């Protein structure tokens, strides 16, 4: 299970593995957040299970419910070379720590003229599909992509999660690492131990020539499913898994769309001012003449995440909508 | 508090029992139904904490407000939300209190004064202040209760809300349901003071530490705090000691607590103890209580059936209630 | 000074006037925030001066430095019909109240299935140019435009500020009202007492036929200056002052660009994932064939607001950049 | 605290005077230069609060950390930031401590242990915890000071930070400079407790209320708290009473306070009082102190000249220091 990509793993265990390896490799790495230590069962879903037992409860620390204090402590320690991996359990709870993330972590390098910097990683979970309702499943990544000084990473599979998380921990800048909870137990390619995946590089998940489907996290799987279906009609969709959404991998995106001349961007965040707007704008700016149709953007409905199952299912953009959007670019 | 504490009389204690039993039986059924797979949702059982809202709510009317949290079904039922509205909401049906759009963590029922249920730790308190402010501005005698957990006393919103309530002498009562755990974290691992009630001093506010599972003590403490708020004498912080029987989230393995700790709490089930007390005090017969319990069971049967028979909301609901009028970007 | 638009006023006094009129007209209107009462001099810049003396210190209340408590109190009171106008002194300080704004104010109507709603107005100041540095001048409006359930209003002149603020206070939904501090003392058209300006309607600040300059707040003036300059060359730019950025006035935008076939969007927020990305995307989606050139987006540099004067000046997009962008659409 | 309080001896008290005088004279000059229009910026004068950081910093070395706030020039100078680096930064020059990119509210100088200066009320405390945690993890004896104002004790970050520091026994000292106003708001209008020091009890932390303008008392309280932190005995909250002579922001009309209140505070100028005390105690002569003051004046002259002679940063700086390597979107 530890080498080769034929073996399978899950996002949940890949995250655990990356943290374990980072803690083992570098004594400056510390992990903290609510319930992360083994005395608290290593996280509500077990993402940090075993880590405090193996690396010590001084390095893997459970905290009170105090997100400002969590991120503040991470920032302060990082200023003098500690490498904190701080957990904000759910992305919605970044709302109580935005000052620390946006006014401090993102800005201290610049405001200090480079005298200090903030090499922290902030892990968080989110994602609709588990019936958690309006305050536990938001995708807010566009806020952070809009914030200079932050990097934003969002893996879709175990191998990427492992390699990207190690890169975030290595990185000299503050990185947000977003884990899609409904993907936690989905089997996928196992990580290659120790192998980093560079921040800022997208992955072509499926090559194609007729249209480019640009996505990240859970929606990559929907895009792939649609691509497979369309392939039977002879439409070959290229699927790009962005992996990092700040900085965006313009080179890969633009090269692909320059070839296919059609693009659809899909994410779970709502469309208005979402990351899709940025991507679509960049494509239009660079490939206006080449494009055969305007870039299509798909996002969740413009409302809070609903609880009721049929609403929750309809809320997230699905294969049907992706297929329809592709057809719009082809017509 | 200097005022001598009186005991609840028979009708009051019976009413506390009725509400606590409704909560208990309702919770037993919820868990059974979830376990059966008939309904799927994250569920934060309040089993074991029944007495706190039951003994508090008998001091309140529909005109009084509460703000509660994801672990709040007991608070809602005690405040008068009907099992039908609740079950339908938890089943995600359009007949639910919030058309199925809110779900278990976000029940609202203004007719019963249930104004906000929040899933964000600490957020019930600042909003409760606003409801209290509205009553104060209008010269109304309404009181607002903010329920929250022990873990929530460590987050910033707690501090800001208590400071403001004290400064503005708001008619609000902050009731901390201290069940000794925040998710998997023991009280003392997250909280740097032995008693949360003692944090009231930081805001020049009365702080009461009380056994929340004892209906006499809880009734008395809540009653005095509510009376003080109604009289315009400002807020109170009550720390009500209790225990959750089913861990943080239903399905929780409880590996972070000792088996004995849990067993001993369950052995002192507050609803069972209250039943015994009613009989010991000669306030009710076993038969009368059994009758009451059967009645509640039937009400829950009907609520479950009502929920399952109700339709899901139309997909158009995704566009409704976002703004006063439909706006789609 | 109270009727007609020939008279002049300032944004600062227009805001004061609107609050005064709203307090006088409706006993449910209350105002609170740090230093807003006259015992605290009616605001750090005097925006609320005189209000507590005229309407009572129970209705115009200074608060502690507790932004979560401020917005929480506004939300709670609004649920039962009070109409709070809450002040978060500077937009950067919304970062300590994001939970209240995003998880509660924006969502309670939906999560309650319409049983409650949150008719609050949140006023805030911001804007580079006064040497306040990295934590006091950010434009973060894109975060709120990305949040379903909120309305976002951002006036450029006294008359609009007055009429829009009254509309926000009347409105049944939570409204953010963004005041550009460097515009506070700029003379402009005086408000017509009592006259509302509808939320969601843009204003054509200058008609033109060759290119559409879309902007809001301070950048409207830069756009107008560039339009005047270009006019001397025979290039007639239409300038749109959005006034409201959520919901966006698609009708006005698209009608204009359908005519001019060229567009430049300018705002002080940074470009990446800014409101300009949303506007550009909508224009491309709707007018792909009609456009003569891709929509140009201008925003501030992708960094925190710098302190040093030359940097601060260069940070914000200016007339030169707007002119260059217009020329790019024409070439 | 049980330990008997000793008094600072002559060299220490003289050093406190030197630092306080540097702060005072530096501030007098800043204000004059701003008033002249030669430099333009929002400036939060610390005049009147000199003794607090001067008497604290003599217990610290460059290895110890501080986190301070927009009103923090006194804290920085006391900790060893040079007038040159400071003036150049305030003038927005590339020779400033932060290349002119931070400005008066965001001075950083790690060589002197000045790690963060924040413009967001309350934010110095959570970050100070992290610096203290780093020292604790590494077994270093460094101590971290978090400076903040009285108004900041009402914001959530204060509460979260003190709770965490207490739980983790961090080597940090929270020093509240209580100048009785938060912008235009009087202490008692924003703060629901008579003494902020008493809020320490909510975190089982020692709390000290001290006259921050009295160098003996301040030196002693800071010394004990720093010693406790260094010994691994955890954090302390110190409330140091003081007064700002020039309102919230320079140019402030001070209409929210009585003229007498201000006049009486200025009449008890702590730097003047300390000078008198040094002479009364026979620790220095007037001539020696005048000599020291002249030396400081020359240092400030040179710093101002250095700042004005320095170039502004290149516009390419907008792209630098955003990330470790240049990334432009
Ligand atoms: C701001 C925030 N942080 C973290 C969480 C995740 N969380 C949900 S419940 C909970 C524990 C709360 O404990 P307590 O306040 O004691 O209430 P209890 O669940 O015991 O009733 C946590 C940490 C959250 N909902 N909100
Ligand atoms: C979160 C936040 N809210 C509001 C402000 C605006 N503000 C700047 S200073 C200040 C007063 C702070 O008072 P205090 O803590 O007593 O410090 P002092 O200025 O007296 O030194 C306020 C409200 C801010 N900077 N940050
Ligand atoms: Mg608890
Ligand atoms: Mg102060």
Instruction: Tell whether the model's pLDDT for residue B45 goes beyond 60.
Output: yes
Per-residue model confidence (pLDDT) at position A2: 40
Q: Compute, in angstroms, the gap from residue C33 CA to the centroid of ligand 2.
A: 13
Cα–Cα distance measured from residue C65 to residue A99, given in angstroms and rounded to the nearest whole number: 14
CA of D219 to the centre of ligand 2 (A): 26
Q: What are phi and psi of D211, to 5 degrees?
A: -75, 105
Q: State whether the beta carbon of A96 lies less than 6 angstroms from ligand 1.
A: yes
Q: Is the domain of C163 the same as that of C242?
A: no
Distance in Å, alpha carbon of A263 to nearest chain D alpha carbon: 20
Same domain, A168 and A208: no
pLDDT tier, B5 (very low <50, low <70, confident <90, very high otherwise): low
What kind and span of H or E run contains C204? strand C203-206
D316: left (phi over 0), alpha (psi -120 to 50) or beta: alpha
Shared-domain flag, residues A181 and A212: no
Q: Residues A157-204: pLDDT tens digits?
A: 999 999 999 999 999 999 999 999 999 999 999 999 999 999 999 999
How far is it, in rounded angstroms, from Cα B11 to Cα A267?
A: 57
Give chain C's domain count: 2
Burial (CB < 10 A; 0-12, 13-18, 19+), residue B264, is exposed
Q: Chain B contacts of A136, Cβ < 8 Å?
A: 105, 119
d(CA D232, CA D142): 10
Q: Any chain C CB within 8 A of the CB of D185? A: yes
Q: Determine, yes or no, domain membership for C23.
A: yes
| Cα distances (angstroms) measured from residue C6 to each of A128, C131, C195 | 54, 33, 15
Question: Can you give the pLDDT at residue D255?
Answer: 87
Quick check: D204 contacting B, CB < 8 Å?
A: yes
- How distant, in Å, are the alpha carbons of A220, B32, D200, D235 from that of B198? 52, 39, 11, 20
Report the separation in Å between the CA atom of D152 and the middle of ligand 4, taken as the mean of its atom positions.
8
The answer on C210 and C181 residing in a single domain is no
Nearest C-alpha neighbor of D191 from the set B289, A318, A158, C63: C63
Annotated catalytic residue within A34, A87, A104, A136: A136
The chain B residue lying nearest A66, using CA atoms, is B155
Closest CA to B143 of B67, B226, B72: B226
pLDDT in tens, A246-264: 999 999 999 999 999 999 9
pLDDT digits 0-9 by tens, B259-318: 999 999 999 999 999 999 999 999 999 999 999 999 999 999 999 999 999 999 999 999
d(CA D147, CA D133): 17
- Contact between C309 and D312 under an 8 Å Cβ cutoff? The reply is yes
Q: Do D321 and A112 touch (CB under 8 A)?
A: yes
| A1 is a domain residue | no
Q: Which of D256, D324, D327 to mutate to test the interface with C (most CBs of C within 10 A)?
A: D256
D interface mutation test: which of B150, B158, B159 has the most D CBs within 10 A?
Answer: B159
Contacts of A285 in chain C (CB under 8 A): 280, 294-297
* Token pair 């403490």 in the structure block, residue: B221
Residue C206: pLDDT above 50? yes
Report pLDDT digits (tens) over B180-197.
999 999 999 999 999 999
Q: Which of A67, A141, A312, A323 is catalytic?
A: A67
Among the bound ligands, name the one nearest to the CA of residue B148.
1
Helices (H), chain A: 11-25, 51-55, 67-79, 98, 108-111, 141-145, 158-170, 219-231, 250-260, 275-287, 309-315, 319-330
Place of tokens 């607001």: C305
Find chain C residues with C-beta within 8 A of D184's C-beta. 35, 40-41, 44
Residues of A with a Cβ under 8 Å from any B Cβ are: 34-35, 39-41, 44, 62-68, 92-93, 95-96, 130-136, 271-272, 301-304, 306-311, 314-315
- Examine residue C315 and state whether it is found in any structural domain, yes or no: yes
Nearest CA-CA partner of B212 in B87, B328, B56: B56
Same domain, C129 and C224: no
Tokens of C330: 């024409």
Q: HEC states along D185-212?
A: EEHHHHCCCCCHHHHHHHHCCCEEEEEC
Interface residue of A117, A273, A291, A311 to substitute, partner C, most C CBs within 10 Å: A273
State which of C161, C189, C217 marks the end of a domain: C189
CA distance B49 to chain A (A): 21
Average pLDDT, chain D: 96
pLDDT of residue D328: 78
CATH code of the domain containing A32: 3.40.50.970
Chain A residue whose CA is closest to C132: A111
Q: For chain B, which residues make up each domain, given as ranges?
A: 10-302
Least CB–CB distance from C135: residue in D93, D105, D189:
D105
Interface TM-score (ipTM) > 0.90: yes
pLDDT band at residue C6 under the 50/70/90 scheme: low
For residue D62, what are its two tokens? Answer: 């460059």
C76, C100, C111: residue with CB nearest B106: C111
The alpha carbon of residue C323 and the mean position of all alpha carbons in its chain are separated, in whole angstroms, by 23
Binned at pLDDT 50, 70 and 90, residue D177 comes out as very high
Considering the domain architecture, whether residues A118 and A181 belong to the same structural domain is answered as: yes
Whether D199 has its CB under 8 Å from any CB of chain B: the answer is: yes
Q: In what order do the strands lie in the sheet with B172-178?
A: B114-118, B65-69, B144-149, B172-178, B236-241, B207-211
* Residue A108 sits in the same domain as residue A135: yes
- Give B253's pLDDT tier (boundaries 50, 70, 90): confident
- Res C7: pLDDT: 87
- Residues B296 and B25 sit within 8 Å (Cβ to Cβ): yes
pTM (two decimals): 0.98
Do the beta carbons of residue C149 and residue C105 sit within 8 Å? Answer: yes
- A84 lies in the same domain as A215: no
**A67 given a catalytic annotation:** yes
CB contact under 8 A, C314 and D105: no
Instruction: Say whether pLDDT at C4 is over 80.
Output: no
As a whole number of Å, the end-to-end CA separation of chain B is: 55
pLDDT tens figures, D111-162: 999 999 999 999 999 999 999 999 999 999 999 999 999 999 999 999 999 9
Which chain A positions have a beta carbon within 8 Å of D161's beta carbon? 68-69, 72
Q: Domain for residue A195, yes or no?
A: no
Q: Any catalytic annotation for residue C136?
A: yes
Distance D119 CA to ligand 2 centre (A): 8
D171: nearest Cα among D196, D210, D141: D141
Are A280 and C278 within 8 A, CB to CB?
A: no
Ligand nearest to the CA of C125: 2
The two tokens of residue C93 are 């300080």
Q: Note down the domain range covering C208.
A: 203-330
Largest CA distance in chain B: 64
Report the gap between the CA of B305 and the closest CA in chain C (Å): 22
Name residue C30's beta-bridge partners.
C84
The per-residue pLDDT for range B202-221, each reduced to its tens digit, is 999 999 999 999 999 999 99
Stretch D206-232: mean pLDDT: 98
| Chain A contact for B80 (CB, 8 A cutoff) | no
Mutate to test the interface with B, among D155, D168, D176, D202 (most CBs of B within 10 A): D202
CA distance A76 to A60: 17
CATH number of the structural domain B10-302: 3.40.50.970
Q: Kindly list the protein residues that place their beta carbon closer than 5 angstroms to ligand 4, a single-atom ion.
A: D 149-150, 179, 182
CA dist B160 and B157 (Å) reads 5
A chain contacts of residue D164, beta-carbon cutoff 8 Å: 63-64, 66, 69, 73
In this structure, are C267 and C308 located in the same domain?
yes
Q: Is the pLDDT of residue A80 over 90?
A: yes
Q: What is the CATH number of the domain that holds C321?
A: 3.40.50.920
Kindly state whether residues A149 and A211 are assigned to the same domain: no
Ligand 2 atom nearest to CA at D153 = 15
Beta carbons within 8 Å of C154's beta carbon, 6+ residues apart:
C141, C177, C178, C180, C216, C217, C242, C243, C244, C245
Specify whether A217 is located in the same domain as A292.
yes
Tell which one of C41, C65, C132, C133 to mutate to probe ligand 2, the residue whose CB is within 8 A of the most ligand atoms. C65
pLDDT number for residue A6 = 65
Structure tokens at B5: 């504490």
Out of C34, C55, C104, C136, pick the active-site residue.
Answer: C136
* Whether A115 and D129 lie within 8 Å, measured CB to CB: no
CA distance D153 to chain B (A): 9
Residue D5 scores a pLDDT above 80: no
Buried/exposed code over A268-305 (b: 16+ C-beta within 10 A; e: otherwise)? bbbbbbbbbbbbbbbbbbbbbeebebbbbbbbbbbbbb
Examine the domain organization and report whether A268 and A298 are in the same domain.
yes
Answer for the pair C245, C252: CB distance below 8 angstroms, yes or no: no
Can you tell me the mean pLDDT for C156-184?
98
Report yes or no on C92 lying in a domain.
Answer: yes
Task: Report strand pairing: B207-211 vs C60-62.
Answer: unpaired
C135 CA: nearest ligand 2 atom: 25
List the single range of B4-13, B242-251, D170-179 with lowest mean pLDDT: B4-13
Task: Give the mean pLDDT of B3-26.
Answer: 91
| pLDDT > 70 fraction of chain D, expressed in percent and rounded | 98
Q: Which residues line ligand 2 (CB under 6 A)?
A: C 34, 65, 67, 89, 93, 96; D 71, 119-121, 149-152, 179, 181-183, 248
Cα C66 to ligand 4 centroid, rounded to whole Å: 14
Please give the DSSP secondary-structure letter assigned to residue A105.
Answer: I
Tokens coding D231: 């010994």
Alpha carbon distance A200, A195 (integer Å): 16
The contact set of C with D (CB < 8 A) is 34-35, 39-41, 44, 62-68, 92-93, 95-96, 130-136, 271-272, 301-304, 306-311, 314-315
Q: Is B212 in the pocket of ligand 1 (CB under 6 A)?
A: no
Residue A35 Cβ contacting ligand 1 at under 6 Å: no
Q: SS3 for C303?
A: coil
| CA B230 – ligand 2 centroid, Å | 34
Strands D181-182 and D172-178: unpaired
Residue nearest to atom 8 of ligand 1 (CA): B121
């Amino acid at each position: 299970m530890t080498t080769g990509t034929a073996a399978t793993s899950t996002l949940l265990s890949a995250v655990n593995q990356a943290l374990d390896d980072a803690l083992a490799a570098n004594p400056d790495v510390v992990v903290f957040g609510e319930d992360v230590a083994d005395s608290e069962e290593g996280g509500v879903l077990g993402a940090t299970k075993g880590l405090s037992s193996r690396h010590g409860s001084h390095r893997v620390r459970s905290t009170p419910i105090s997100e400002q204090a969590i991120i503040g402590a991470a920032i302060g320690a990082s200023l003098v070379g500690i490498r904190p991996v701080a957990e904000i359990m759910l992305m919605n709870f970044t709302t109580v720590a935005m000052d620390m993330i946006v006014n401090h972590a993102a800005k201290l390098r610049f405001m200090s003229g480079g005298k200090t910097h903030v090499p922290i990683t902030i892990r968080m979970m989110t994602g609709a599909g588990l019936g958690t309702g309006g305050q536990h499943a938001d995708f807010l990544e566009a806020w952070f992509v809009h914030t200079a000084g932050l990097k934003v990473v969002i893996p879709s599979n175990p191998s990427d999660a492992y390699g990207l998380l190690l890169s975030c921990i290595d990185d000299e800048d503050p990185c947000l690492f977003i884990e899609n909870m409904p993907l936690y137990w989905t089997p996928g390619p196992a990580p290659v131990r120790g192998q980093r995946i560079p921040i800022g590089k997208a992955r072509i998940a499926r090559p194609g020539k007729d249209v480019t489907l640009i996505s990240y996290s859970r929606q990559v799987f929907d895009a792939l499913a649609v691509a497979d279906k369309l392939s039977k009609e002879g439409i070959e969709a290229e699927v790009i898994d962005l992996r990092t959404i700040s900085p965006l991998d313009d080179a890969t995106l633009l090269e692909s769309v320059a070839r296919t001349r059609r693009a659809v961007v899909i994410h779970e965040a709502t469309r208005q001012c979402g990351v899709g707007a940025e991507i679509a704008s960049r494509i239009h700016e660079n490939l206006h003449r080449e494009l055969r149709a305007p870039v299509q953007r798909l996002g969740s409905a413009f409302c809070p995440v609903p609880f009721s199952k049929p609403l929750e299912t309809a809320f997230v953009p699905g294969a049907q909508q992706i297929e329809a959007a592709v057809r719009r670019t082809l017509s | 508090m200097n005022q001598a504490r009186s005991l609840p009389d028979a009708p009051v204690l019976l009413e506390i029992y009725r509400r606590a039993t409704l909560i208990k039986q309702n919770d037993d059924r919820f868990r059974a139904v979830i376990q059966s797979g008939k309904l799927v949702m994250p569920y934060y059982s309040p089993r074991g904490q029944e007495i706190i809202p039951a003994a508090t709510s008998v001091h309140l009317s529909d005109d009084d407000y509460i703000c509660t949290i994801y672990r709040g079904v007991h608070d809602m039922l005690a405040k008068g939300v009907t099992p039908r509205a609740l079950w339908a909401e938890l089943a995600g049906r359009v007949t639910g209190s919030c058309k199925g759009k809110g779900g278990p963590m976000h029940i609202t029922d203004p007719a019963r004064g249930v104004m906000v249920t929040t899933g964000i730790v600490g957020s019930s308190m600042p909003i409760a202040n606003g409801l209290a402010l509205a009553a104060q501005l209008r010269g109304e005698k309404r009181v607002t209760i903010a329920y929250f957990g022990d873990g929530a006393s460590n987050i910033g919103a707690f501090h800001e809300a208590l400071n403001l309530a004290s400064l503005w002498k708001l008619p609000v009562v902050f009731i901390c349901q201290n069940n000794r755990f925040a998710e998997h974290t023991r009280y003392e691992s997250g909280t740097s003071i032995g008693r949360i009630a003692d944090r009231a001093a930081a805001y020049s506010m009365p702080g009461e530490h009380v056994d929340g599972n004892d209906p006499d003590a809880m009734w008395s403490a809540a009653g005095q705090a509510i009376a003080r708020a109604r009289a315009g004498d400002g807020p109170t912080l009550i720390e009500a000691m209790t225990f959750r029987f089913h861990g943080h989230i239903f399905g929780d393995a409880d590996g972070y607590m000792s088996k004995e700790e849990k067993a001993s709490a369950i052995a002192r089930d507050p609803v069972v103890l209250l039943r015994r007390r009613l009989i010991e005090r000669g306030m009710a017969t076993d038969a009368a209580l059994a009758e009451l319990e059967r009645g509640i069971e039937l009400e829950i049967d009907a609520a479950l059936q009502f929920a399952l028979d109700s339709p899901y909301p139309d997909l158009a609901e995704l566009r409704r209630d976002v703004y006063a009028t439909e706006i789609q970007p």
